[in-house]
Structure 1
Amino acid sequence: MNGKSAKDLLTVTIPRPGLLAWSLFAVQAVYLVLFMLSGLEGFSFSFIDLVGVLFSFITILLLASSLEILLFHRISACIVIITAVITAWGMNAYRLTSGSPLDYSLVRDNLGISFSPESFLMISTAFSTRDLVILPAIAAMLYLAVRIFPAASKSLKRNTVSARLTSLVAWIMLVVLPVNAGDGFTLFAKSALDYHNSPEIAGVPAGYPYLKKKIEHTSFRENIPRNLASKPNIFLILIESFNANFVEAVSPGGTAYTPQFNALIKKGLYIDRFYANSVQTCKGQEAVFFSIIPTYKGKLFVDYPELNISGFPAILTASGYETIFFQAYHDLKFDNTYNSMIKAGFTTVKSYSEYRKPADRPYIWGWGVEDKIFYERFFTMLDQMHESSPEKPVFASLMTVGTHIPCDGMPPEKMSIYKNPREIKEKYSNALHLSDSQLPRFFELMAERPYLANSIIIITADHSFPMKEHGIYNNEKCFYDETFRVPFLVIWDGVVKPGRISNRAYSQIDIGPTIMDMAGIVNYENTMTGTSIFDRNSSNPVFLVQPYNGRYLQVVDYPHKYIMHIQTQKEYLFNLEADPAEKNNLVHESESVDKTLFMKNILGRVHLNQKLIDENMIRPAAAQR
């Protein structure tokens, strides 16, 4: 009697796979084979990896069994099963392409912009022809299985209420368990839990003095010729996705990727170790215009619209400058760009689309217009503004789009390096080479205007993009230098002595203080956290934020670079001078203990920055009044 009762108890509490579970098993099995064939990390024949594979099937069984409550009708069952299969297929296809599971923060932060045509095309690059074949193949396989075994379709709900409840509780426990394993749904749930549970900032003290009464300056202006000292015009060109590894480099065929930019380096001051502080345009703009470390939770422009903050353009406006933000991408609502640039202090925020001409059509492809036409339309606008306010100096930031990933749609006659590009790197190389070839047009147009004779030109990027230097094409995956390092060149004829800085690292948060230093603007309250590049004495480490794939937070105190992976608490330490490819992790070397601890402590500033933003304390309450 007791034995029978125990058996009955097991029968009603242990989950059994129904049609939903078998459908997800099929998707998982197909992609597990592909993961192994592709050599994806975590998918080998080692004991640990095989246990992880088994674990993924267990989590699928538990989740599918608990979801059987939704299969109350054949129609609802069809909807749930089809949705689950397509979602599982999409998650696995993304993982196969990117090398990492789909991250909750990536979806949360970017869902709102995913429906633009350009974003949709970019997302589609995560799916190959192979994936498009797999989905209907799995659907056909499931259909045949149901036809051959009709009993399966009649047993949509294989589990008792008790078994479903047990499955749900067990699945939640596995989500909470600090083990980075499971199927795509489980890993996504784990990343959501990590996102909303951030104990690392709980103990961060408040009251950090972001607000300063004056702007720090160097002795830079002491050597400026008198005829050039008064309020120079300033142009900040942000080239989309400009990976610094392509500067002064050549293609396998011997063609320089950026010959025009290379030539300009000889005319200005170039920084070899300059970093974008994060991985997306909006986060680059956070760092550039507000001179603060980008958020690792959410987007400043979208998730913190009430944040009491202003940028260095507001200081330039107050100092008598005409301040202009001009972008090539047509939609200023994208990531709330317009409102954010107004908050930064720009008096004019425009996109190229307002000045587009019918004749421009052949020059528009991919995410937008080619740089040459973009520059021409900008100067048309600038001339109109100059006519109405000829006495005002200009600060203008130009945001290009011609090199936006995936660089699709380029006319074949403009493909100068790879005639039949297939991989993203080949498409990017063509787009970057075209963008570079059109850079001289900006200088030609500027030279044609006498009112711009005394001008500073800064050329850098909104962010970088990895081009498989470490086998990665995904900007939201990893921590290597190619994900963050961008060019930085400042040209001011007769003032800035041409040269290179190779023994120090700087970043986008240093752009605002550098411009203030060159313009001689001192007596303004500000919340900038960067340092002028002409300040060679102060120690201001570079902070890098990879908000996705479990979140990598980093600090560069050249030549050392320290990384903390928040999800796994794994640490890395590299000597970039001795090991520029970041192959040798020194974190466990005995001679690196002190350096690791020192840099780990410095990294606390990133958590402090996030807390100040979360609590709207960039400017203290007293200053807000």
Structure 2
Amino acid sequence: PPPEPPPPEPTAPRYAPKRFNVVFILIDTLRPDHLGLYGYERATSPNLDAWAKDAVVFDDVWAQAPNTPRSMPSIFTGRYPSRIQWVERYANYGSLKPENESIFEVFQAGGWRTEVVSAHWYFERAGGIKDGVDLWDNQGFTTIKESNTQTIAHELTPRAVARIEALSAGEQPFFLLVHYFEPHGRYMNQPSATVFGKELVDKYDSEISYVDKHLAPLFAALDKPGVKEKTTVVITADHGEAFKEHGLYFHGRTVYHEELRVPLAVRVPGVAPRRVPDLTGLIDLLPSLAEHVGLKAARAQGRSFLPALKGDALPARTLFGEQLPYPNYQTHMVGVVRSDGLRVVRNVTDNVTEVFDLKADPKEKTNLLGADPAAAEDLRQALDRFLDADPG
């Protein structure tokens, strides 16, 4: 009989990069705890829930900013908002300097075709955001006010499906970002959405159900033979949404959990579904996706979560989130969370610091500094160092 093949070298990496296509679905303002796959009791997301059964789902994911103009550049560059090169940092819709390296530029330089399907005014206003994109289809946007009130998912999905079909027919690998603006406010009474009630939170859930309905044809396109086996799919959000958990509605005001926690599900061909409990940030997406296909993102501040796709635990870490002042809202807040569930939130403007134990107090209601002035001293010092290193 022929000799048995030798065992693999023990130093061989557990994760072998492949030139997969990447479809990155970014759903605006989507809280994880309002989705069935994260235990929500309302049927807001049946299509997403079913799709996620075939994916790696991350359970402890934090955005680095509570609003789109800070979070999206952070996602795209893999850097904290205060560490991005801004043309003008103190602006409602800041533009990016050319020296930033975005996820589009990394993939484009590696030989991928880079495209985006969206429909929002922000992408026309924020200079530099389109660097590295071969084709950005942002048709349907008008003014900021109209962008925030128009209903677009039913038009966006067919456009995204058409691009997936066209790109999949070619030989070149592709990176496609699809941005759904719903469930961002204003919450509209979508005719095809599930009605949950009349309160703001009910209308928010209806918006989620509307997006979920229009994800179904997108998932069908991604499941077709010739597409599914060579395409990695990522679904996440840029930030969450507040419903007076800390006195405010909507987002872009604080760094509490309701504004920063987001869903993250990743489906990779050949990788078994599982849950990942380890602390993860949206700044991890660029280094992870780059490494996933054999590219490098040297300037990203996040870390790769690829070991988690194979079932390995990710090392303990600290992760920051920032509410940088802008003309529409002047308060400066910074938060830090650690893998053990300890969290520090500081209102820099008012010089107020809070410490929370997320394992015992996930809603961030009890400030531990009241009973123990020395609580989380090392983590508070880490926050001090982060602020001291802010280039301003």
Same fold (TM over 0.5): yes
Match of 1:435 in 2: 211
Match of 1:399 in 2: 179
TM-fit CA distance, 1:315? 1.7
TM-fit CA distance, 1:331? 6.0
TM-fit CA distance, 1:294? 1.1
Deviations, residues 374-400 of structure 1 (Å, cap 9, x unaligned): 12112324444566xx22101111111
Deviations, residues 534-556 of structure 1 (Å, cap 9, x unaligned): 35454442111123453211101
Identical amino acids, percent of aligned pairs = 20
Equivalent AA in structure 2 for residue 585 of structure 1? N
Relative to 1, partners in 2 of residues 1:563 and 1:220: Cα closer, same or farther, differing over 3 Å? farther
Equivalent AA in structure 2 for residue 341 of structure 1? K
Deviations, residues 474-530 of structure 1 (Å, cap 9, x unaligned): 3133332111101000011312x211122x2211101101102221224x6x21000
The residue correspondences of 1:205-604 to structure 2 (distance < 5 A) are 222-223=14-15, 230-248=18-36, 255-295=42-82, 298=89, 303=94, 305-306=96-97, 308-329=99-120, 332-336=123-127, 339-342=128-131, 345-353=132-140, 367-384=149-166, 390-411=170-191, 414-418=192-196, 421=198, 423-448=199-224, 450-451=226-227, 453-495=229-271, 497-502=272-277, 504-522=278-296, 526-535=298-307, 536-547=313-324, 548=329, 550-558=331-339, 559-590=341-372, 593=374, 596-604=376-384
Query: SS of the residue aligned with 2:239?
Result: coil
TM-score by length of 2: 0.82
Deviations, residues 152-192 of structure 1 (Å, cap 9, x unaligned): xxxxxxxxxxxxxxxxxxxxxxxxxxxxxxxxxxxxxxxxx
TM-score by length of 1: 0.53
Equivalent AA in structure 1 for residue 332 of structure 2? R
Equivalent AA in structure 1 for residue 47 of structure 2? Q
Equivalent AA in structure 2 for residue 416 of structure 1? T
Distance of 1:223 and 1:309 partners within structure 2? 28
Provide the aligned length of Structure 1 versus Structure 2.
Answer: 364
C-alpha contact 2:114 2:175 (8 A) present in aligned 1: yes
TM-fit CA distance, 1:471? 4.6
TM-fit CA distance, 1:584? 1.6
C-alpha contact 1:329 1:368 (8 A) present in aligned 2: no
Equivalent AA in structure 2 for residue 374 of structure 1? L
Structure scoring higher RCO (CA < 8 A, sep ≥ 6) equals 2
Distance of 2:121 and 2:228 partners within structure 1? 27
Equivalent AA in structure 2 for residue 598 of structure 1? D
RMSD, matched Cα: 3.0
Equivalent AA in structure 2 for residue 501 of structure 1? V
Relative to 1, partners in 2 of residues 1:486 and 1:576: Cα closer, same or farther, differing over 3 Å? same
Relative to 1, partners in 2 of residues 1:493 and 1:606: Cα closer, same or farther, differing over 3 Å? same
Deviations, residues 193-227 of structure 1 (Å, cap 9, x unaligned): xxxxxxxxxxxxxxxxxxxxxxxxxx996355xxx
C-alpha contact 1:478 1:549 (8 A) present in aligned 2: no
Equivalent AA in structure 1 for residue 73 of structure 2? E
C-alpha contact 1:329 1:369 (8 A) present in aligned 2: no
Deviations, residues 559-607 of structure 1 (Å, cap 9, x unaligned): 11111111222111111111112122112444x72x6221122224543
Equivalent AA in structure 2 for residue 445 of structure 1? A
Match of 1:116 in 2: none
Distance of 1:242 and 1:530 partners within structure 2? 21
Equivalent AA in structure 2 for residue 340 of structure 1? I
C-alpha contact 1:541 1:556 (8 A) present in aligned 2: yes
Distance of 1:407 and 1:464 partners within structure 2? 14
